[in-house]
Amino acid sequence: MRRVVVLPERGKLIVATDLQGNVADFDRVAEIYEEAARKRDGAVLVITGDLVHGPELSEAQWPDYLGSYYLGDSGTVLERARLLAERHPGRVHYLLGNHEHAHVGGPVVSKFFPDEARRLEDLLGYEGTQAMREWLCTWPFVALAPRANLVMLHAAPHARIESRNDLERLPLDGFFDVPLEEMANRGALGALLWARTTSTERARSFLRAIDPNARVAIYGHDVARNGYAIDREPLLCISTSFGCFDGDKLYLEWDLDEPADSAADVARRGLRPLYPAAPPVYRID
């Protein structure tokens, strides 16, 4: 498998982030992608990790800071994600997130359960768990849209690398006992999966290592209540699902042959509401 997937140079690019077991949001992203895929030049979908590990709370227990209510069902999301990829071979890409990494060598994450990975694996059973782990080990870390000048990854582009080949040699295991607060600074893989932000200089260094023409890093991992955040150039953090109200959830739609100039340019021209009819809570049109 390749840890950096290079996307085609024509067609539509659809990017979504951090679904965390939200079946309805996954289905909506799939609907948007498949509609775009029917167009003349087709489409590519990139989901930047954290498909799994959602809350299993009743509506009465639901806190406002988690946004719109849903009942997490990671098993169904994984099943539908695999079927979508099978229907569109080579056109649907799931990037490894820190929650997926918890199943294949990463540290324990405990947002809603003491061990999120254990909870999901108990639900999947032995055979389901083995199949999931085998699949997760093939997921790339980074997606590159070369003509669009875009790089997609799970977390902020904080990793120190010299070239994209450095990512091909990164092992997944060896992180089980690392404290979560240390992960962003624990080598390139820790930064790829855990960094919430980085400096402009370090981000641009990462982008140049992936592709000399890359201009914008697109990622999730953190929650932007109004759907996106630009801490500084070239960082564009998007929130498609987890932690947001339906009216604030955003995804990216971009032409693969359209060069991007900046994160602000991509946000202005490429962000779309996941649910256009839902009233925004934090988002300002």
Query: Which residues, other chains included, contact 132 with Cβ-Cβ below 8 Å and sequence gap of 6+?
Result: 78, 103, 121, 124
Average pLDDT, the chain: 97
Distance CA 51, CA 215 (A): 26
> Quick check: bond before 234 cis, omega within 30?
yes
Lowest mean pLDDT across 33-37, 175-179, 260-264, 277-281: 175-179
Helices (H), 156-262: 165-168, 187-194, 200-210
Q: How large is the average pLDDT for residues 108-121?
A: 96
Q: How large is the average pLDDT for residues 164-188?
A: 91
- Residue 1 clears pLDDT 80, i.e. is over it: no
The pTM of the full predicted model, rounded to 2 decimals, is: 0.97
Q: How confident is the model at residue 245 (pLDDT cuts 50, 70, 90)?
A: very high
* DSSP state letter for 74: H
Q: Give the pLDDT score at 144.
A: 98
Q: How confident is the model at residue 174 (pLDDT cuts 50, 70, 90)?
A: confident
Q: Give the pLDDT score at 50.
A: 98
Strand runs (DSSP E) across the chain, as ranges? 4-6, 12-16, 43-47, 92-94, 142-145, 150-153, 216-219, 228-229, 235-238, 250-255, 271-273
Percent of the chain at pLDDT exceeding 90: 94
Tokens encoding 151: 């790089």
Lowest mean pLDDT across 25-29, 49-53, 185-189, 258-262: 185-189
Distance CA 156, CA 198 (A): 6
Q: How confident is the model at residue 177 (pLDDT cuts 50, 70, 90)?
A: confident
Instruction: Report in angstroms the alpha-carbon separations of 186 from 139, 173, 179, 183, 208.
Output: 20, 12, 10, 5, 21
Helices (H), the chain: 23-37, 74-87, 98-101, 116-136, 165-168, 187-194, 200-210, 263-270
Q: Give the pLDDT score at 241.
A: 98
Phi and psi angles of residue 7, each rounded to the nearest 5 degrees, phi first: -85, 160
Q: How large is the average pLDDT for residues 186-211?
A: 97
